[in-house]
């Protein structure tokens, strides 16, 4: 599953800004959060929520703003999702 919702998937209008922030962070460091296999994890697909998206955005904001930093953040998020922690 994609760690960050992909495509035009919108949870609620409230998610628009959060999703745009996450996409901008990734774009700024040339990381494709949809097609890069390092941004995908094993997990139950369809479990995206506002709370999960907020955690993704906050984690990306807190990460070093480099490709390696963002990919490391995705790895950490992916592990949490795969373990059922997120």
Which of 63, 71, 76, 81 shows the shortest CA–CA distance to 33? 71
Query: Between 5 and 15, whose confidence is greater?
Result: 5
Q: 20-67: per-residue pLDDT in tens?
A: 888 899 999 999 988 888 888 877 665 667 788 889 899 999 999 999
Structure tokens at 9: 């998937």
Q: How far is CA 21 from CA 53, 56, 58, 79, 83, in A?
A: 10, 10, 10, 22, 26
Does 2 map to a domain? Answer: no
Does 27 map to a domain? Answer: yes
Does 38 map to a domain? Answer: yes
Does 5 map to a domain? Answer: no
Which of 51, 43, 39, 54 shows the shortest CA–CA distance to 6? 39
Does 67 map to a domain? Answer: yes
Q: How far is CA 73 from CA 11, 17, 52, 64, in A?
A: 22, 20, 14, 9
Structural domain range at position 33: 15-82
Tally of domains in the chain: 1
Does 51 map to a domain? Answer: yes
Does 6 map to a domain? Answer: no
Does 62 map to a domain? Answer: yes
- Give pTM, 2 decimals: 0.84
């Amino acid at each position: 599953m994609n760690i960050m919702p992909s495509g035009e998937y919108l949870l609620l209008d409230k998610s628009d800004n959060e999703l745009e922030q996450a996409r901008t962070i990734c774009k700024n460091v040339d990381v494709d959060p949809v097609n890069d296999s390092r941004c995908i994890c094993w997990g139950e697909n369809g479990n995206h929520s506002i709370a999960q998206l907020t955690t993704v955005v906050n984690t990306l904001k807190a990460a070093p703003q480099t490709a390696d930093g963002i990919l490391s953040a995705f790895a950490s998020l992916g592990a949490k999702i795969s373990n059922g922690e997120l």
